Amino acid sequence: MSENADIHAVCELLGKANRVAALTGAGISAECGIPTFRGEDGLWRKFRAEELATPSAFHRDPKLVWEWYDWRRGIIAPVEPNPGHEVLARWEKIFPEFTLITQNIDGLHGRSGSKNILELHGNIWKMRCTEEGTVIENLDSPLKEIPPHCPSCGALLRPHVVWFGESLSSTILQRAFLLSSQCEVMLVIGTSAVVQPAASLPLSAAEAGAKIVEINLNPTPLTPYVDISFTGKSGEILPLIDKNLKRKS
């Protein structure tokens, strides 16, 4: 189908839907200049992200891991959300039930005004005490101390994110699967759809009868299973869909 026909088709779907969900990945923030995970630009020094985003890497060298997160915070801090983030924030107000499920830890959905966000993998602007488990927000960029320590007990702080090999919060994960299985339309935006369990959410939504709409620069393992697939930049395609959407708040 031509892109225009696809735009028309997705607006038809969204025009009559009450329960809509969106799953986002690093691709939705790429147009802000934030490196994706698996894209060419995802490399830091000579490390692959999966090598640093693990409990064993932190145990081995917490300073090195914090230097990586401080580098990423330094890239994220000055940027503004892009039109893709903004459309999703606006859709939260025009659909009776709109759920935003993100794998991103950059906090840009929140900064664009989205409220109802499930941050599956945590948030880079939050830290957790390795002793007490308390979570604190820290927006310093650059960090004043690397590695940072707990202001109340002095123990090492770790990024409040989910590392590979670590389980996600069961509360957030259960809610993500519940809302995915209840939505009528799920948009899957800017994710390579390989990291589990996040990559299973669109499949469980499809099994429950939802229509799946994918927006990605490239095909993904999910593409053969979706109802409508847009190949392009989410910061351009989402505003295009929004402009043609006959739904106002």
Quote the tokens at residue 113: 């005004």
Tell me the closest approach of the beta carbon of residue 66 to ligand BV8, in angstroms. 12
DSSP 72-96: HHHHHTTPPP-HHHHHHHHHHHHSS
Tell me the closest approach of the beta carbon of residue 215 to ligand BV8, in angstroms. 6
Among 14, 21, 23, 26, binds ligand BV8 (CB under 6 A): 26
Q: Is 196 in the site for ligand BV8 (CB under 6 A)?
A: yes
Residues 219-248 that bind ligand BV8 (CB under 6 A): 220, 233-235
Tell me the closest approach of the beta carbon of residue 42 to ligand BV8, in angstroms. 6
Q: Are 79 and 108 in contact (CB under 8 A)?
A: yes
Q: Are 90 and 11 in contact (CB under 8 A)?
A: no
List the x/- string, 142-161, binding to ligand BV8 by CB under 6 A. -------------------x
Q: Is 39 in the site for ligand BV8 (CB under 6 A)?
A: yes
Q: Which residues are catalytic?
A: 121
Q: Is 171 in the site for ligand BV8 (CB under 6 A)?
A: no
Q: Is 38 in the site for ligand BV8 (CB under 6 A)?
A: yes
Measuring CA to CA, which residue among 118, 107, 106, 109 is closest to residue 89? 109
Q: Smaller CB distance to ligand BV8: residue 92 or 107?
A: 107
Is the preceding peptide bond at 159 cis, omega within 30 degrees of 0? no
Binding residues with ligand BV8: total (CB under 6 A): 37
Tell me the closest approach of the beta carbon of residue 23 to ligand BV8, in angstroms. 9
List the x/- string, 198-217, binding to ligand BV8 by CB under 6 A. x----------------xxx
The count of other CB atoms within 10 Å of the CB of residue 171 is: 9
Rounded to the nearest 5 degrees, what angle is found at the Cα of 105, between the Cα atoms of 98 and 152? 115
Token pair 């509360």 in the structure block, residue: 171
Q: Taking the CA atoms of 204, 207, 212 and 215 in sequence, report the sign of the dihedral they define.
A: positive
Tell me the closest approach of the beta carbon of residue 212 to ligand BV8, in angstroms. 15
Helical ranges in the chain per DSSP H: 3-15, 27-30, 49-52, 55-60, 62-76, 83-94, 108-111, 170-182, 201-207, 234-244
Residues 174-193 that bind ligand BV8 (CB under 6 A): 190-192
The count of other CB atoms within 10 Å of the CB of residue 53 is: 23
List the x/- string, 109-128, binding to ligand BV8 by CB under 6 A. ------------x-------
Site residues (vs ligand BV8, CB under 6 A): 25-27, 30-31, 36-39, 42, 53, 103, 105, 121, 161-167, 190-192, 194-198, 215-218, 220, 233-235
